[in-house]
Amino acid sequence: MTYRTLSRRTLLATGTAGIAAAAMPPLRARAQTPVGLQLSWLHSVQFAGSYIAQDRGWWREAGLDVSLAQGGPNAPVEPPVVSGTALVGISAADYTAAAIEQGAPFRILAVAMQKNPFVVASLPANPVNEPADLMGKKIGMALANMPVLQALCTLNGVDIDQIEVVPTQYSAQPLVAGEVDCLLCWETDLPVAMAIQGIESLTMLMADHGYAVHSQTYIATDDSLANRRAELVALLSGEVRGWEAYRADTDAAAALTLAMFPDAGLDIEIQKLQATRQVPLMFSDLTDANGFGWWTDETVAANIETLALLGRTVTPDLWDRSILEEVHGS
């Protein structure tokens, strides 16, 4: 089983979780503390690390009864986390920064996607390989993402007025139909859909061109961070173990996702491809050295710079590594 391939660090984390569970009153541990994890989108392999933790009972062992609430087009992450319906939510640094400006008391506890998954996808006949190629092209995107495009242009000295923006639904259809030349989307969804449909596409990862925004971040409120630390540690250590197991066998993670959500209409080929394509976004030399979810002062500084271009002013204390440090035992 993949369990044997786990790193020393993760095993340590298990130990920590075990201690955390042991530290709780036995009755309560047996009763299982109910905890909500609010996902940012519909169930898919995007959250397979959580499914593995759930499936193998790692949270149950730690005394947590975790319910995974899926997101959706009209299911934002922030309200359930603020209300306490969910202990932890999956967000992204830019959304979290915006919510904080509106008075939400959030901290980022861990970073699942080290590299932001935003790409510009295009077709080989009319490729966008670097930001300068955007000039003179029609890009399909939600107008809500204008700040993202603006930031990319600023970072790379591209005149945004040279780009024609077409407001589109979040779908590869306008690109395939030739209505636009390229799309602003995620590396792991629309390009995967096109590949499965037999349409070859190119992606330019914005993170490779200076766009540094932590994505799929774990957020919790200040209050939870102060008063529910044991649960947070147990939840995140399950996540860490889950994602390590995910990395060891992404095909198995895809299969588990389908098995757990038979009514979600998932396609195994799409899930497998998506699972492999998100690995380079989630794991890096940094996580190899320090463990899943890690960040450093340097990556935070880069995030603060990009967030400033998005019109968000944040300070380094938006990120709180104390839970993750406890999980990784450092």
Partner 1 sequence: MTAAIPAPTPRWPRGLFSLALLLLAWELAARALAGAYVLAAPSDVILHIAQNAGLLGRALRETLANAAAGFVAGNLAAICLAAGALTWPRAAPVIAGLALLVFCLPLVATGPILRVLYGPGAGPQVTLAALAVYYTTFVPLMVGLRAAPASWFDLVRSYGRGRVAELVHVRTRASLPYLFAGLQIAAPAAFLGAMVGEFTGAERGMGVLTIRAMRTLDVTAIWSLAVIAAAVSILAYAAVGRLATALLTDRPPVILSPPVTPAHTGWRPLADAVVVLLVAVAAWWGAMEAFGLNAFFAKRPDDLWQALYMAPDAAQTRATLTAALRETSIYLLPGYAAGLALGASLAVALTLAPALRPGATALAVTLRSVPIVTTAPLLVLLLGRGAVGTIALVATMVFFPTFVACIHGLRQAPGQVLDVFDSYAAGPVARLWHVKVPAMLPAFFAAARMSVPASVLAVTVVEWLATGRGIGSLMALSASLSDYDMLWSAVVVISLLSVLGHAAVGLAERRVLSVFAAEQVAV
Q: What is the 3-state secondary structure (H, E, C) of 120-135?
A: EEECCCCCCCCHHHHC
* Helix (H/G/I), strand (E/B), else coil: 9: helix
CB of 172 to partner 1, least distance (A): 5
CB of 127 to partner 1, least distance (A): 19
315 binds partner 1 (CB under 8 A): no
Single out the segment in contact with partner 1 by CB under 8 A; choices: 11-19, 113-121, 160-168, 242-250: 160-168
- Pairing mode, strands 88-91 and 215-221: antiparallel
Q: Using the rule CB under 8 A, which residue among 30, 74, 136, 161 binds partner 1? A: 74
Q: Using the rule CB under 8 A, which residue among 73, 124, 136, 157 binds partner 1? A: 73
Cα(89)–Cα(47) distance, integer angstroms: 12
**Residue 308, CA distances (Å) to 154, 286, 303 in order:** 11, 24, 8
CB of 27 to partner 1, least distance (A): 25
Cβ nearer to partner 1, comparing 16 with 215 = 215
Cβ nearer to partner 1, comparing 80 with 238 = 80
Cβ nearer to partner 1, comparing 106 with 294 = 106
Cβ nearer to partner 1, comparing 119 with 194 = 194
Single out the segment in contact with partner 1 by CB under 8 A; choices: 7-15, 24-32, 82-90, 247-255: 82-90
Bridge-partner residues for 122, per DSSP? 182, 202
Token pair 């998932």 in the structure block, residue: 266
CB of 77 to partner 1, least distance (A): 9
CB of 124 to partner 1, least distance (A): 16
Q: Which of the residues 122 through 151 are near partner 1 (CB under 8 A)?
A: 142-144
71 binds partner 1 (CB under 8 A): yes
Write the interaction track for partner 1 spanning residues 176-215; mark x where CB under 8 A is met and - where it is not: xxxx---------xx-xxx-xx------------------
Q: In what order do the strands lie in the sheet with 33-38?
A: 64-69, 33-38, 88-91, 215-221, 106-113
Q: What are phi and psi of 227, to 5 degrees?
A: -110, -15
Cβ nearer to partner 1, comparing 107 with 328 = 107
CA 218 from chain center: how many Å?
Answer: 8
Token pair 């503390």 in the structure block, residue: 33
Q: What is the dihedral of CA 101, 105, 111, 113, to 10 degrees?
A: -40
The count of chain residues that interact with partner 1, using the rule CB under 8 A, is: 55
Q: What are phi and psi of 132, to 5 degrees?
A: -60, -25
Write the interaction track for partner 1 spanning residues 89-118; mark x where CB under 8 A is met and - where it is not: ------x--xx-xxxx--------------
Q: Using the rule CB under 8 A, which residue among 13, 87, 153, 172 binds partner 1? A: 172
227 binds partner 1 (CB under 8 A): no
329 binds partner 1 (CB under 8 A): no
Pair 236, 15: CB distance under 8 Å: no
Residues near 305 by Cβ (< 8 Å), separated by ≥ 6?
Answer: 212
246 binds partner 1 (CB under 8 A): no
Q: What are phi and psi of 38, to 5 degrees?
A: -90, 115
Bridge-partner residues for 45, per DSSP? none
Q: What is the DSSP letter of 164?
A: E
- Contact positions vs partner 1 (CB under 8 A): 42-43, 67, 69-76, 78-80, 82-83, 85, 95, 98-99, 101-104, 142-144, 166-174, 176-179, 189-190, 192-194, 196-197, 261-267, 270
